[in-house]
C-alpha cells in the first residue's frame, strides 16, 4: 500500500495551507524550475526516514454552499478509498460546525486511521480551544497552526507511525521498472512489445508493498520486474477527476519501482503533466529515463533530435541528468536502448563509491575551487563519504557546514556527476560538522 495521506474538511479550514506545510517549500521551487504553473494538489512529504504522498482532496472536489453534501461525499469517498491515513481538518476559530459533523458522520465509519486536526491554533489560547473537538468522539485531537507550523511535528509523528521506513535493498535484487506517462503515449504498446515478443517469465514474486503479483521478465537480454500499473484499482463511483486517478495510478507505480520509464508522445512534446510525473519520480528518489515515443511520426530535418532535446532540457531545468531517448515502439527503434539505459541507471543507483576514490577525486576539485570564505572564516571540507542509505547520499564533513551556500553545493553536485555515473538518478549532498 502506498503511503498516502488525504486531507479532508469543509472549505476555508486551511486544508491547502496545511498541504503546503506538509509538502514543504521545495515543491514550489521545483515547480518554478520546470515551468509548471498550475496548482498541484498532491506532493511528497518527508518526516524522519519516511516518505509519503499528501493529497489535498479539497483541491479536487469543490462544492458550492448548496451542494455541500455531494462535495463531502466525493471528498470523503476519495479519501476512504485511496488514502492510508486521513487528516480531518477543522477550524479552531469557528468551533465545531454542522458541516464538520456531517464529515465526521461519514469518517467515523472509516477503517483507516483518521486524525482530527484543529487548525489555526496560532496562539496558546487557541490551542486550549482544541478540547471542544473531543465532542466529535473521534479520539485525540491535534491542535496545529498550518500558518506557523505549531503542532505539525506531533501530527507527523502520529501519521508516519503507520508507515514503514524504506526497506533495505536485497542482494541481487532485480530492478523494478514502472512504465508511466500520459494516456496514449504508448505505454501499453511498450508493455506488449516487452511481454509478448521476447517474453520469458522467470518467476512470480509476491508483491511486498501491495497486494499484486509482480512478474520477473527477461526481454532484450535484460532481467527486470515490471510494476503492474493497469487494473490495480477497482472501478470507483467517483468520476469527478480522471486526472486525479491517473496521477494516483502513476504514483503507486512510481512508489513501487526503482526506475521509471516516462513515456512521452513526441508528436505532442513534453507537457506540464509529463514534467509532473518526472517530478514525482525524482521526489520519490527513483531513477528516470524519458522516452520520446512515436518518433517515427515526427518529420525530421538535420538536427531535429538535437533541437528537440535542447528544448526539453530547457524545460526540465534542474533535471539535466535525466537521459532522453527518441523511440518508436511501432518500429522498435531504440527500445533496446531504453531497457539498457533503465538497467544501467539502476546500477548507478545501487553502486557504492569508496571513500578513498571520492576523496581522491573531489578534493582535487575542491582545491581548485574552494568554498568561498564566510565573513572572513575559511571553510574547509575535510572528508567526504557515502552514507549507507538507500539512495545515493554523500556527507561532506567540514568546519562550517551552515556557511556553504547553494551555488557551491550545485558546483559540488555537478562535479560529482562529472566524475561518477549518476545519470538518471537524484543524488543528495549533506554537509556536516566534523
11 binds ligand GDP (CB under 6 A): yes
Asked if 31 and 111 touch (Cβ cutoff 8 Å), the reply is no
Q: Determine how many CB atoms are found less than 10 A away from the CB of residue 432.
A: 12
- The least CB distance from residue 144 to ligand GDP, in Å, is 7
Asked if 141 and 221 touch (Cβ cutoff 8 Å), the reply is no
147 binds ligand GDP (CB under 6 A): yes
Cα Rg of the chain, angstroms = 24
Given candidates 41, 286, 294, 341, which one binds ligand GDP under the rule CB under 6 A?
294
15 marked among binding-site residues: yes
The grid coordinates listed for 391 are 539512495
229 marked among binding-site residues: yes
269 binds ligand GDP (CB under 6 A): no
Asked if 66 and 79 touch (Cβ cutoff 8 Å), the reply is no
Query: Which positions from 21 to 60 touch ligand GDP by CB under 6 A, shown as an x/- string?
Result: -------------------------------------x--
Q: Spell out where 167-258 has E strands.
A: 176-181, 201-206, 213-219, 222-226
Given candidates 330, 350, 387, 395, which one binds ligand GDP under the rule CB under 6 A?
330
* Cα-to-chain-centroid distance, residue 243: 16
Pick 97 or 161: Cβ nearer ligand GDP? 97
Asked if 290 and 262 touch (Cβ cutoff 8 Å), the reply is yes
Compute the C-alpha angle 135/139/145, nearest 5°. Answer: 85
Piece in contact with ligand GDP (CB under 6 A), picked from 132-140, 254-262, 288-296, 393-401: 288-296
Torsion sign (Cα): 234, 62, 58, 119: negative
Q: How far apart are CA 224 and CA 222, in angstroms?
A: 6
253 binds ligand GDP (CB under 6 A): no
Pick 85 or 261: Cβ nearer ligand GDP? 261
Asked if 280 and 254 touch (Cβ cutoff 8 Å), the reply is yes
Pairing assessment for the beta strands 222-226 and 213-219 based on DSSP bridges? antiparallel
Q: Determine how many CB atoms are found less than 10 A away from the CB of residue 208.
A: 9
Given candidates 46, 162, 166, 189, which one binds ligand GDP under the rule CB under 6 A?
189
Given candidates 6, 185, 219, 416, which one binds ligand GDP under the rule CB under 6 A?
185
Given candidates 3, 53, 74, 119, which one binds ligand GDP under the rule CB under 6 A?
119
- Output the known binding site: 9-16, 56-60, 119-122, 181-188, 228-232, 293-296
**Applying CB under 6 A, which residues contact ligand GDP?**
9, 11-17, 58, 119-120, 122, 145-147, 181, 183-189, 293-294, 296-297, 328-330
Binding residues for GTP: 9-16, 56-60, 119-122, 181-188, 228-232, 293-296
Amino acid at each position: 500500500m502506498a503511503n498516502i495521506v488525504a486531507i479532508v474538511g469543509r472549505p476555508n479550514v486551511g486544508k491547502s495551507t496545511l498541504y503546503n506545510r506538509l509538502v514543504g517549500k521545495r515543491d514550489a521551487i521545483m515547480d518554478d524550475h520546470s515551468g509548471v504553473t498550475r496548482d498541484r494538489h498532491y506532493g511528497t512529504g518527508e518526516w524522519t526516514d519516511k516518505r509519503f504522498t499528501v493529497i489535498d482532496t479539497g483541491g479536487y472536489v469543490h462544492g458550492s454552499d448548496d451542494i455541500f453534501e455531494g462535495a463531502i461525499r466525493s471528498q470523503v469517498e476519495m479519501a476512504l478509498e485511496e488514502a492510508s491515513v486521513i487528516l480531518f481538518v477543522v477550524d479552531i476559530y469557528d468551533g465545531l460546525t454542522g458541516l464538520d459533523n456531517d464529515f465526521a458522520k461519514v469518517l467515523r465509519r472509516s477503517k483507516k486511521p483518521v486524525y482530527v486536526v484543529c487548525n489555526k491554533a496560532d496562539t496558546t489560547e487557541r490551542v486550549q480551544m482544541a478540547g471542544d473537538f473531543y465532542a466529535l468522539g473521534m479520539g485525540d485531537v491535534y491542535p496545529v497552526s498550518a500558518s506557523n507550523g505549531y503542532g505539525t511535528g506531533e501530527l507527523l509523528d502520529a501519521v508516519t507511525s503507520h508507515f514503514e521506513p524504506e526497506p533495505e535493498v536485497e542482494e541481487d535484487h532485480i530492478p523494478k521498472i514502472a512504465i508511466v506517462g500520459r494516456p496514449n503515449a504508448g505505454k501499453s504498446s511498450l508493455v506488449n512489445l516487452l511481454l509478448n515478443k521476447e517474453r520469458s517469465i522467470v518467476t512470480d514474486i509476491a508483491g511486498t508493498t501491495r497486494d499484486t503479483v509482480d512478474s520477473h521478465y527477461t526481454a532484450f537480454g535484460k532481467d527486470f520486474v515490471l510494476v503492474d500499473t493497469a487494473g490495480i484499482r477497482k472501478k470507483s463511483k467517483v468520476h469527478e477527476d480522471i486526472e486525479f486517478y491517473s496521477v494516483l495510478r502513476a504514483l503507486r507505480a512510481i512508489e513501487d519501482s526503482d526506475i521509471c520509464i516516462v513515456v512521452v508522445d513526441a508528436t505532442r512534446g513534453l507537457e506540464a503533466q509529463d514534467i509532473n510525473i518526472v517530478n514525482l519520480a525524482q521526489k520519490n528518489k527513483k531513477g528516470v529515463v524519458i522516452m520520446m515515443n512515436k518518433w517515427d511520426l515526427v518529420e525530421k530535418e538535420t538536427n531535429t533530435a538535437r533541437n528537440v532535446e535542447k528544448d526539453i532540457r530547457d524545460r526540465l531545468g534542474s533535471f539535466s541528468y535525466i537521459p532522453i531517448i527518441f523511440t518508436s515502439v511501432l518500429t522498435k527503434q531504440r527500445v533496446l536502448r531504453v531497457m539498457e539505459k533503465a538497467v544501467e541507471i539502476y546500477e548507478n543507483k545501487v553502486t557504492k563509491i569508496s571513500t578513498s576514490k571520492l576523496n581522491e577525486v573531489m578534493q582535487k576539485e575542491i582545491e581548485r575551487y574552494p568554498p568561498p570564505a564566510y565573513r572572513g572564516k575559511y571553510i574547509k571540507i575535510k572528508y567526504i563519504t557515502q552514507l549507507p542509505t538507500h539512495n545515493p547520499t554523500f556527507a561532506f564533513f567540514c568546519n562550517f557546514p551552515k556557511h556553504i551556500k547553494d551555488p557551491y553545493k550545485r558546483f559540488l553536485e555537478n562535479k560529482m556527476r562529472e566524475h561518477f555515473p549518476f545519470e538518471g538518478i537524484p543524488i543528495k549532498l549533506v554537509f556536516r560538522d566534523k
